[in-house]
Structure 1
Amino acid sequence: MISSCSRLNTIEFLIKSSQHLQVSPIVKYSAFSFFADRFLPSLPPFIKGASSLNWLLQPVTESTLQLFVLISIWISSKIHDSKPLSVASLKFLADNSINEQHFTNRNFLEAVCKQIHWEVLFMQVLNFEIGTANIAFSFLDELWIQIKGVAKVGELINFEACMEIMDLLYEKEETAFLYRSPHSLAASILLILQPRVRKKIS
């Protein structure tokens, strides 16, 4: 079982890693979807149902989860970027950010270069479902563009603040279930930040 503390630490690691790697918002929030929405909930039943446990999950440490965070960002970058993140950039970040260095030398480089071990295991836990069309950020972006197209008030909505709210919701485990309804979540965030509504609330 993954503790709440480990979950929070790895979510914060994903945010910091995205900033360090300077990935686009769609890469960041697709990685969030892969890791927080799908990987973490699927990992305990995957481990329980495995006939023989992969050595990478013996045991599941916080450092192991941090490496899976980097894998989620890397997969997301391969989907959305014309020039995906390099192995060197991921390894540099791992070497400088993850405590258990025995994971981050030869093993990490081999795993990424050959697309084995870490990435394959990550995909197995996700049951190879890596679609990104149904994520909250995509709906948030679409709604924001639509609102700007029909009303001047849309131009007053701070999109950076929208993303900060999304980050905060991911950090709070008790609100993570909101991402199961991405349409509603995106609309709610925009409603909260709509200037007239915000004025009435205050």
Structure 2
Amino acid sequence: MGKEKKLSIYDSYVMLHDRKTVFERKKLLDEKVSLVVPEDFAMMDEETRRKIYAVSDVPGELYSNEQGCFVVGLKQAETAMEENRLENAMKIMKKVFPYSAHNAKLLSSKFLSTQNARLGVLEYVHETLLEQVYQIMFLGALEKRLLVGSLHFSFADSEWMLPLAEEILASYCDLTKKVSDEV
């Protein structure tokens, strides 16, 4: 994509691999959260999920479209989590992540304030049998339980996909919080 205008999920459409893609806010994870994702994103069936995660744990729900140039995963774990404990969760994940994928290399670790929540974000690259993958893992507190999310795409697409991924993460909204709840 070179020196073209930076892509945004808020444009009327985005060309992803020569296909017009329109982004919209969708309610996901039993309507507990919302993200701005492609309008044709849908939850993957079990067979497709098993192909993507053949040798590791499958996240709770995986969303993508027919094009499949990136995937969003969301899981609400049973682990108790308060938003003010995210720092500890991030410390643990930094120690665990190298074992989560083949040749995983941590690129960055940060905290992000979204519409009404705070997320811990780990970005890393790892290898699969076919390619290098750019993985963005995010952690949060959802109904006082740990939320583990991920967004992954081909490392070859990372130059133009990263700005879109950052906007997708920033669009995160916890729909279980009351209007008066504070971040």
- State whether TM-score is above 0.5: no
- TM-score where L is the length of structure 1: 0.25
Structure number, greater radius of gyration: 1
